[in-house]
């Protein structure tokens, strides 16, 4: 391969450290998102996808760091390889070139489905744990994302017609949090 080696890392929160992903992997340029995998708004991934060119290698720590689900994974890999970009998943030890065998395509689907299944199990266990903690009186929910003044300003600006995505970005919250505050949901539930 004569092209550049482009790395992509993703962690779910700004508090998490992405350094362990692609540690000791040589890349020419690195893109890192600090956003939940379920979010459609992954600006660094979009920048990376816009940056890669025919002949480049796109390197990701693992399949679950790239895609939200199996359909997203397959579509992204197909788009990249269709543009002449080699896709490499370090953790799974898989490389996709667009000239892949039926076995490679099976492995992509199989490993992607396993990653999606693992994530679903984690969320299910998390919900069960929260429910048990609530019943035991030990779970009080998260801290409010915004104080009363910020919440009032957010609601006022949304009512004035500002876009939810713009407000979410400015206030450092998710779009769902904006909708919840605007709807008057108790902020201690977020």
pLDDT of residue 29: 95
Backbone angles phi, psi at 141, to 5 degrees: 85, 175
Is it the case that residue 142 has pLDDT exceeding 80? Answer: no
* More confidently predicted of 172 and 185: 172
Average pLDDT value over all residues in the chain: 85
pLDDT of residue 6: 96
Say which CATH architecture domain 5-112 belongs to. Answer: 3-Layer(aba) Sandwich (3.40)
pLDDT tens per residue, range 99-130? 877 888 888 888 888 888 887 888 899 889 88
pLDDT of residue 1: 55
Strands 86-89 and 94-96: antiparallel
Contact present, 181 and 151 (Cβ < 8 Å): yes
Q: What is the mean pLDDT of residues 180-185?
A: 76
Domain ranges of the chain: 5-112, 148-184
pLDDT of residue 147: 85
Q: At what angle do helices 102-135 and 70-82 cross, to 10 degrees?
A: 150
Is it the case that residue 134 has pLDDT exceeding 90? Answer: no
pLDDT tens per residue, range 36-86? 766 678 899 999 999 999 999 999 998 888 887 888 899 999 999 999 999
Please indicate whether residue 12 is annotated as part of the active site: yes
* Active-site residue (options: 12, 36, 39, 62): 12
pLDDT of residue 186: 43
Is it the case that residue 185 has pLDDT exceeding 70? Answer: no
Contact present, 65 and 10 (Cβ < 8 Å): yes
DSSP the chain: --S-EEEEEEESSTTS--TTTTTT---SEEEEEES-TT-S--HHHHHHHHH--TT-EEEES-HHHH-SSHHHHHHHHHHHHHTT-EEEETTTTEEE-SS--HHHHHHHHHHHHHHHHHHHHHHHHHHHHHHHHHHTT----PPPSS-HHHHHHHHHHHHTT--HHHHHHHHTS-HHHHHHHHHT--GGG-
């Amino acid at each position: 391969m004569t092209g550049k080696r482009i790395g992509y890392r993703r962690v779910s929160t700004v508090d998490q450290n992405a350094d362990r992903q692609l540690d000791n992997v040589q890349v020419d340029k690195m893109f890192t998102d600090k956003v939940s995998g379920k979010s459609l708004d992954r600006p660094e991934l979009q920048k990376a996808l816009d940056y890669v060119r025919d002949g480049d290698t796109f390197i990701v720590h693992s399949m679950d760091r790239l895609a939200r689900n199996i359909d997203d994974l397959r579509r992204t890999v197909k788009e990249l390889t269709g543009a002449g970009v080699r896709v490499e998943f370090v953790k799974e030890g898989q490389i996709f070139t667009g000239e892949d065998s039926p076995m490679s395509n099976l492995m992509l689907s199989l490993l992607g489905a396993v990653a999606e299944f693992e994530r679903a199990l984690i969320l299910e266990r998390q919900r069960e744990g929260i429910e048990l903690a609530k019943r035991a009186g030990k779970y009080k929910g998260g801290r409010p994302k915004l104080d009363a003044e910020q919440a009032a300003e957010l609601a006022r600006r949304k009512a004035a017609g500002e876009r939810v995505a713009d407000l979410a970005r400015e206030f450092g919250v998710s779009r769902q949090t904006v909708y919840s505050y605007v709807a008057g949901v108790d902020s201690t539930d977020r």
